[in-house]
Homo-oligomer: A and B are copies of this chain.
Amino acid sequence: MKISKRPLYLVTDALNYSEEAFLNRIDAACQGGVDLVQLREKELTSLQYFQRAYAVKQITDKYHVPLLIDDRLDIAQAVKAAGVHLGQKDLPVDVARQILGPDAIIGATTKTLNQAQLAVEQGADYLGVGAIFPTTTHVETVRTSVDTLKAIKQAVDIPVYAIGGLNAENVETVKPAGVDGVAVVSAIMKAADPLKATEELHRKVIEVTN
């Protein structure tokens, strides 16, 4: 599989950081052991998103960490990212697959078993499932139980990531679901020391994933 054995997945949030502080934090996360990075921007113009994606790509390339772009296939193509992550309000997975081709990594956010099965049928490479806990970074987020997470994991044959309010303290909660990985935002993006936080998270995530 395209993304097997990549248990710790960072989804970015630029919050109120300066460009430099934001990029330094991603560098620290890559150094600390994140296996996959998704750049997620909702407020930027296309030009700004492109420029930021280009800057992030220089960092992830340095650490050989695949970079995915949230929502925007064109930004992913513009910076030659490894692929995209698609929510339920973004382009359908099968449409994205036609545009990006077989080698691109295409992930999908799914909150229910039906959504998960559809994403797999349409050609998704992995699923992000949540929110497991309440989160401050995604507004309007619907919660998903660990039971649903487990049911999805058992129903599909692609990697499943738990997401939503997960951190080093609570990540054991998802262990019963047998997921392949854990995606975090705040646990790294808001950490006092992102390098140490990532290292600690990485150890914990290895313990709770297959």
Q: Interface on A for B, CB 8 Å cutoff?
A: 45-48, 50, 71-75, 77-78, 88-92, 95-96, 99
Are the CB atoms of B72 and A46 closer together than 8 Å? Answer: yes
Given contacts A89-B45, A90-B45, contact A78 B95 (CB under 8 A): yes
Are the CB atoms of B89 and A74 closer together than 8 Å? Answer: no
Determine the chain B residues whose CB is within 8 A of the CB of A72 once the complex forms. Answer: 46, 72, 74
Alpha-carbon distance A45/B88, docked complex (angstroms): 10
Q: Which of A50, A73, A92 has the most CB of B within 10 A?
A: A73
Alpha-carbon distance A174/B7, docked complex (angstroms): 61
| Minimum CB–CB distance for A21 against chain B, Å | 24
Closest to A73 in B: B74
| Minimum CB–CB distance for A98 against chain B, Å | 8
Determine the chain B residues whose CB is within 8 A of the CB of A50 once the complex forms. Answer: 91-92, 95
Instruction: Give 21 A-B contacts (CB < 8 Å), ordered by A residue.
Output: A46-B71, A46-B90, A47-B88, A47-B90, A47-B92, A48-B89, A50-B92, A50-B95, A72-B74, A73-B73, A73-B74, A73-B77, A74-B74, A74-B77, A74-B91, A74-B96, A75-B91, A77-B99, A78-B91, A78-B95, A78-B99
Determine the chain B residues whose CB is within 8 A of the CB of A73 once the complex forms. Answer: 73-74, 77
Determine the chain B residues whose CB is within 8 A of the CB of A77 once the complex forms. Answer: 73-74, 99
Are the CB atoms of A47 and B78 closer together than 8 Å? Answer: no
Alpha-carbon distance A75/B71, docked complex (angstroms): 11
Alpha-carbon distance A138/B90, docked complex (angstroms): 25
* Top 4 closest pairs, chain A to chain B, by CB: A73-B74, A45-B89, A74-B74, A46-B90
Q: Which of A72, A78, A91 has the most CB of B within 10 A?
A: A91
Closest to A46 in B: B90
Determine the chain B residues whose CB is within 8 A of the CB of A95 once the complex forms. Answer: 50, 78
